[in-house]
Structure 1
Amino acid sequence: MNNLYKNIDFIYGNVVYWGKKEGIVLNLSYLRYFVTLAHVRHYTRAAEQLCITQPSLSHAIVQMEKELGIPLFEKNGRNTTLTRYGEEFLTCAEHTLSTLDTGMESLRRSARGAGLIRLGILRMLGIEYIPRLAAEFLQENPHRDIQFAFHTGDTQHLLDELEAGKHDLAFCSRPAPRRGLTAVPVQKQKLVLITPKNHSLACRDRIDLSETVSYPQIFFAKSSGIRGVVEQMYEQIGAKPEISYETEEDEVIAGLVAHGFGIAIVPYMDFLLKLNVKILPISYPDCQRELFLVHDDRVFLPPVANDFREFVLSRCRENSKEA
């Protein structure tokens, strides 16, 4: 008997499918009628509370008992009490309705524009760019129950997780066309060369990329979106640099340069000013990295995440006009 009530297989429309082997089918409204009657313990008062007729309530309970094959209620004077089977079933029915109601309320909140926005971001964007956008979005929507989840990684990792449904939106380098993702440019970053302060190139004010080829370099790992950008720059001048070390993080590359492991091309970041490195603008070729807001059109984007996406794009349009 216990196994009959432990698990619901699924709910479709107003019908609960309960117990694969037993093949039990219960009307969801009847389940609510049962819980109400179990607490009120009086058919007339329970029917009034449910805004239905007493015969309709009686019919519903009879149908449930017939489907389950056991009595749920018994008479006790003018009142109605639960049988021991009814008491056992009540716990499961209340849990089922509570779970269902919680899920329905969560969906209603999402439809009203509330909920969680799951962002995958490059770590460097988490220093200022993304926090500023998220804070401004929350300030413009003070009455909506909105939360953010921030996850960092390199471009390849972020895109893999976006396709796996772990993020709603990703801020990273351009995805490969084969992924079939939608990407809109939202920011440009100037790339610079950094060298140890005692390096032979450190006396320069700016540098042509061709002048860096003969020096050992620290490159971003292949999983990083910026790796392809730097490689294209060297292809543009028909050169191939000597790669001594590879790593994923901007901060690690800068630290290695500061301690004499080589030179590197990185996005300009204010924290570079605090390190023992020389920052050199690159005169040729033009060195910029474009960052994108990426989402998957094949997957439903929650309303609140779509609103944030539109908010970011509107900010980009405003900034382009000012420029």
Structure 2
Amino acid sequence: MAAPSRPRFAYKGDRLKPLRAFCQTARLGSISRAAEALFLSQPAVTLQLQALEREMGVRLLERSGRRLALTREGEALYELARPLVEGLDGLDAAFRERIRGLDAGELNVAAGSSTILYLLPKIVEAFRAAHPDVRLSLHNVTGAGGLDLLRSDAVDLAVGSMLDVPADLSYEPVYRFEPMLITPRRHPLADKPEIALQDLSPYGLILPPQRLTTYRLIDLVFQQNRVPYTVALEVGGWEVIKQYVAMGLGISIVTAICLTDADRERLAARSLARYFPSRTYGVVVRKGKYLSPQARAFVELIKPALFERGGYDDTGPSER
């Protein structure tokens, strides 16, 4: 025998109205005050409360002195319904706030120091020329900090290098940079016809701190090839490393992104692509995120500019 169907009530077609009436009555403790807050008549609020109680099949409110108080069941429903009602009632304001940046012409981009210093200047220059009214903010962050900004929508996108791409992010690599050995111009390795990994052993390396991926990757390659090496100095920042190498304090292994024309006048640079993997740089976004027109314009500037300089693919916002 089929179970009897539950009766249908007129208010069930619009559940928001009785839930809103219920939440206001629970908050204010009075039908009359709830009616004032909702700009409705008291009978209308009463009907909505009665319909909700019939639909739920329980008593939600009871008289407690001069106020209406929640029953145990009413407290459970209020706990569930309040965030829903408040969220819907505040949807318009939240939506306006969310798109405020679009209306105001804002663009927030996360990137590491190397990306900001070496990769983005011409991109930013072109974007500012094409979109002078857009307020562009570059957030200098590394590693998890950049991922957190992406996931919280504090930035529209990120530009950088990723080795491992989390499942909730999308990474579009655009440019590949070779690993380079840098030495002073008059160093014995500067003009050596062929560079083998063993050739680096007699000379102290100047490397980024051990916590960064670059150091760990270099150590891994030397260990795998069973080649001994020494670290003369640990220091952060490619500019500092290049300066110390130019001063003759050691040699280093860097990514070609940091080498400028001026650097090649004071440093000798040799490719180590035979031993070390290349690094790619590209655009990182949160999967499913809507990109504003200004964000899409920024991305479109990155792609042709990078391809023009010889880039191609592999795997966000991190400074290694």
The question of a shared fold, defined as TM-score above 0.5 by the shorter chain, is answered with: yes
Q: Is the 8 A contact 1:168 1:295 kept in 2?
A: yes
**Which whole-Å CA distance do the structure 1 matches of 2:144 and 2:131 have between them?**
32
CA displacement, residues 2-56 of structure 1 (integer Å, 9 cap, x when unaligned): xxxxxxxxxx99x79889953665789x7xxxxxxxxxxxxxxxxxxxxxxxxxx
Cα deviation, residue 258, structure 1: 2.7
1:311 maps to: 300
From 116, 124, 127, give the equivalent of 2:114: 124
Q: Does the alignment pair 1:273 with 2:262? A: yes
Q: Does the alignment pair 1:183 with 2:171? A: yes
Q: Is the 8 A contact 2:206 2:233 kept in 1?
A: yes
Cα deviation, residue 150, structure 1: 0.5
**Which whole-Å CA distance do the structure 1 matches of 2:234 and 2:305 have between them?**
33
**Which whole-Å CA distance do the structure 2 matches of 1:296 and 1:234 have between them?**
35
1:159 maps to: 147
**Which whole-Å CA distance do the structure 1 matches of 2:95 and 2:255 have between them?**
45
**Which whole-Å CA distance do the structure 2 matches of 1:27 and 1:256 have between them?**
74
Q: Does the alignment pair 1:285 with 2:291? A: no
**Which whole-Å CA distance do the structure 2 matches of 1:218 and 1:241 have between them?**
11
**Which whole-Å CA distance do the structure 1 matches of 2:108 and 2:164 have between them?**
22
Q: Is the 8 A contact 2:109 2:155 kept in 1?
A: yes
**Which whole-Å CA distance do the structure 1 matches of 2:166 and 2:311 have between them?**
34
User: RCO higher in 1 or 2 (8 Å CA, sep ≥ 6)?
Assistant: 2
SS at match of 2:202: coil
**TM-score normalized by structure 2?**
0.56
Paired amino acid for 1:133: I
Cα deviation, residue 198, structure 1: 5.2
Q: Is the 8 A contact 1:196 1:278 kept in 2?
A: yes
**Which whole-Å CA distance do the structure 1 matches of 2:237 and 2:92 have between them?**
45
Paired amino acid for 2:181: L
Larger strand fraction of residues: 1
2:286 maps to: 296
2:156 maps to: 168
**Which whole-Å CA distance do the structure 2 matches of 1:18 and 1:302 have between them?**
37
Query: Considering only aligned residues, what root-mean-square deviation do their CA atoms show, in Å?
Result: 4.6
Q: Are residues 133 and 277 of structure 1, via their aligned partners in 2, closer, same or farther at CA, if it must alter by over 3 Å?
A: closer
SS at match of 2:283: strand
CA displacement, residues 260-305 of structure 1 (integer Å, 9 cap, x when unaligned): 332101123455735995323126516532123222226x444246
SS at match of 2:106: strand
Q: Are residues 153 and 322 of structure 1, via their aligned partners in 2, closer, same or farther at CA, if it must alter by over 3 Å?
A: closer
Paired amino acid for 1:303: S
1:70 maps to: none
Q: Is the 8 A contact 1:206 1:283 kept in 2?
A: no
Paired amino acid for 2:234: E
**Which whole-Å CA distance do the structure 1 matches of 2:168 and 2:222 have between them?**
28
Q: Is the 8 A contact 2:123 2:302 kept in 1?
A: no
**Which whole-Å CA distance do the structure 2 matches of 1:313 and 1:192 have between them?**
24
Paired amino acid for 2:300: F
**Which runs of 5 or more residues in structure 1 are unaligned?**
1-11, 31-59, 67-98
Q: Is the 8 A contact 2:205 2:252 kept in 1?
A: yes
**TM-score normalized by structure 1?**
0.56
Cα deviation, residue 147, structure 1: 2.2
Cα deviation, residue 156, structure 1: 4.9
Q: Is the 8 A contact 1:219 1:243 kept in 2?
A: yes
Q: Are residues 111 and 217 of structure 1, via their aligned partners in 2, closer, same or farther at CA, if it must alter by over 3 Å?
A: closer
From 241, 246, 255, give the equivalent of 1:253: 241
Q: Does the alignment pair 1:204 with 2:200? A: no
Cα deviation, residue 132, structure 1: 2.5
2:28 maps to: 22
Q: Is the 8 A contact 1:219 1:247 kept in 2?
A: yes
Cα deviation, residue 250, structure 1: 0.6
177-186 or 301-310, which deviates more: 301-310
Percent sequence identity over matched residues? 19
Alignment of 1:39-78 (within 5 A): 60=39
CA displacement, residues 61-86 of structure 1 (integer Å, 9 cap, x when unaligned): 988xx9xxxxxxxxxxxxxxxxxxxx
**Which whole-Å CA distance do the structure 1 matches of 2:280 and 2:112 have between them?**
13
CA displacement, residues 144-177 of structure 1 (integer Å, 9 cap, x when unaligned): x532211224445433543455433222221424
1:214 maps to: 202
Q: Is the 8 A contact 1:229 1:289 kept in 2?
A: no
Alignment of 1:91-170 (within 5 A): 105-109=96-100, 115-127=105-117, 129-140=119-130, 146-163=134-151, 165-170=153-158
**Which runs of 5 or more residues in structure 2 are unaligned?**
1-15, 46-89, 313-320
Paired amino acid for 1:279: A
Q: Is the 8 A contact 2:255 2:279 kept in 1?
A: yes
